[in-house]
Amino acid sequence: MPARATIETLAPLWPNQPTQLAVGRGDSSGIIFFNQSTKEGRDVVMQYGARNLPETTALNAANIAAALGERDGRGNITALCAGGDGKVYFLFRGTGGKQSKFALGQYDARTAEVRVLADTTSLLRDSKLGASIELATPTLVGTDSFVWLLLATLDQTVLLRFEPGKMPARGLIQLVRPFDRAAAGDEVLQLGRAECRLSAGPGDTLLLTDSHAAGLFQIDSAGRATLISTLVALPNKLSTAVALSAERAVIVAGEAEEIRPTVDSRVEAAKVTTNYPAVLIFERSGKIIPIAKERLSGRPGLAVYALRITATARENDSAFIAYDAGSGELLRVRLAE
């Protein structure tokens, strides 16, 4: 079992900034894509690959705006994910005109082609959010067969998806609601809560890290959820969960106040004792394996004791990519025996 973790710094970024991560699959396997939103609306997705240095890509605000037919090429890439087909998917909000323009799109790293899959009109039609789409917090998740789009406002939560393998070669697509609700038995999951983090699980499942309901859940493609572990008494600063394999998921927990129970059927504390920040490995058996801060090693000067991991993406069965909001660094975390 992993007893320690090594942390490699890949690139310096701005600290405490909204940051999107994706690790390519298929044709773009091994390439790390990342973006930080800019106030000027000049977002550019960077990549880190075989040359071991950050490089710009053609996925930027100007090219997305051009694909939308907009003259003013300003806007922010607000969500990013890797699809099982080897493409990168993004959500864009154009800020150049009087009204925001939205685009859900696809980027092919081999050809540098940017394709718009859904524009403002089609996103409004499929989400039925109306003007409140301006206030929605987006999440994109890529699984083996699907790309999922979660749009959450204070009053509404909409989960949509599409299947890249069945898309037409050209034109816009339609997004569908895969299920009315996600539930673990009688417990209905609130996917759009501010305390919730949605990420890719094994196959076509999703992982939900819910620090309000104090549970880590796996959700299948029909909305049936299974509790993997309670999160009661863990710190309330948790990263998104990373599915390393079908049997293991990992979360980075920062030092913070404990999560309190809010669900009557889930009041017992998680069975783990460690020093935070820590990497927590959740096994399907229910066991939690901690790697305490004393067992985390990084470059000299990296404040491991103050890690605040806010974005993660799976790289392989024993490694994941992370953004540390405290230092502003893009990191590779490797688990080792």
Half-sphere exposure for 279 (CA within 13 Å, toward CB): 30
Within-domain flag for 262: no
Within-domain flag for 93: yes
Within-domain flag for 45: yes
Number of other CB atoms surrounding residue 147 within 10 Å: 25
The pLDDT confidence band at residue 73, using thresholds 50, 70 and 90, is confident
What span, in angstroms and rounded, lies between the C-alpha atoms of 296 and 273?
A: 16
What span, in angstroms and rounded, lies between the C-alpha atoms of 79 and 312?
A: 13
Chain segment 195-205, per-residue pLDDT in tens: 999 999 999 99
Q: What is the pLDDT of residue 1?
A: 60
Within-domain flag for 158: yes
Listed in sequence order, the residues at least 6 apart from 52 whose beta carbon sits closer than 8 Å to its beta carbon are none
Range of the domain at 121: 20-178
Count how many domains the chain has: 1
Number of other CB atoms surrounding residue 25 within 10 Å: 19
Tokens of 271: 């069975």
What CATH number corresponds to the domain at position 82?
Answer: 2.120.10.80
Q: What is the pLDDT of residue 72?
A: 84
* CA angle centred on 94, ends 90 and 100, rounded to 5°: 120
User: Model's pTM, two decimal places?
Assistant: 0.95
Q: What is the pLDDT of residue 29?
A: 87
Chain segment 56-67, per-residue pLDDT in tens: 999 999 999 999
Paired with 42 in beta bridges are 75
Within-domain flag for 187: no
Of 224, 251, 254, 235, nearest to 314 by C-alpha is 251
Q: What is the mean pLDDT of the chain?
A: 95
Within-domain flag for 225: no
The rounded percent of the chain whose pLDDT value lies above 90 is 90
Q: Are 151 and 135 in contact (CB under 8 A)?
A: no
Within-domain flag for 123: yes
Average pLDDT of the segment spanning 81-85: 96
The pLDDT confidence band at residue 3, using thresholds 50, 70 and 90, is confident
Q: What is the pLDDT of residue 273?
A: 94
Tokens of 38: 């800019």
Look at 35 and 72; give whichever has higher pLDDT: 35
What span, in angstroms and rounded, lies between the C-alpha atoms of 35 and 59?
A: 10
What span, in angstroms and rounded, lies between the C-alpha atoms of 271 and 283?
A: 12
What span, in angstroms and rounded, lies between the C-alpha atoms of 241 and 217?
A: 10
Of 196, 110, 185, 105, nearest to 157 by C-alpha is 196
Chain segment 283-328, per-residue pLDDT in tens: 988 899 999 999 999 999 899 999 999 999 999 999 999 999 999 9
What span, in angstroms and rounded, lies between the C-alpha atoms of 94 and 27?
A: 29
Q: What is the pLDDT of residue 28?
A: 85
Chain segment 121-156, per-residue pLDDT in tens: 999 999 999 999 999 999 999 999 999 999 999 889
Question: 121: part of which helix (H) or strand (E)?
Answer: helix 120-127
What span, in angstroms and rounded, lies between the C-alpha atoms of 114 and 116?
A: 7
| Strands, E assignment, 109-237 | 113-119, 137-142, 147-152, 157-162, 183-184, 187-188, 196-200, 206-210, 215-219, 225-230
pLDDT reading at 167 higher than 70: yes
Within-domain flag for 12: no
What span, in angstroms and rounded, lies between the C-alpha atoms of 13 and 20?
A: 12
Of 53, 14, 3, 8, nearest to 299 by C-alpha is 8
Tokens of 170: 């050209």
Q: What is the pLDDT of residue 98?
A: 74
